[in-house]
Amino acid sequence: MSISLAALKDLLVVSCQADPGDPLEIIDALRGIASASVRGGPGGLRLNGAECIAVIRPDTVFLIIRLKKAYFNGQLRITPNFTASIELGQAGEDIIALDCTDDACVLAIPGTMAQAELHPQEVSACWCWL
């Protein structure tokens, strides 16, 4: 599968995730949200965590933007290190969202470096938004 960000232009990507402790932080609830979302024909889904992705992936052919939320010094980071990105990449071909900010982030690297490090062995595609 070849993934292009251009393919998502003008399409809705539905975020089906919940913060830790949120009443919706139940896999079946998130699966229901994702299931209802795909009926509308989105460009893709945005899912947090390998467990959630593994449960929802069989239910849809739509693109999944994968991420793993983590907090460092009280600040949210998205897929903050290579270990997290490899864990997310194990489930198949999609996009992995990375936090590439340089303010106290564990993974402060340029997008081209992230793509070179992760592509193609661990994941099929990787983009960094700076």
Closest to 82 in 3D by CA, of 117, 46, 120, 121: 117
Domain positions in the chain are: 5-129
pTM: 0.73
What tens-digit pLDDT sequence spans the chain (130 residues)? 455 677 788 889 999 998 878 899 899 999 999 999 999 989 899 999 888 999 999 989 888 999 988 887 788 888 877 778 888 887 666 788 877 665 544 444 444 444 444 444 344 344 444 3
HEC-encoded secondary structure of 81-106:
CHHHHHHHHCCCCCEEEEECCCCCCC
Can you read off the two tokens belonging to residue 65?
């933007």
Query: Which CATH superfamily is 5-129 part of?
Result: Aldolase class I (3.20.20.70)
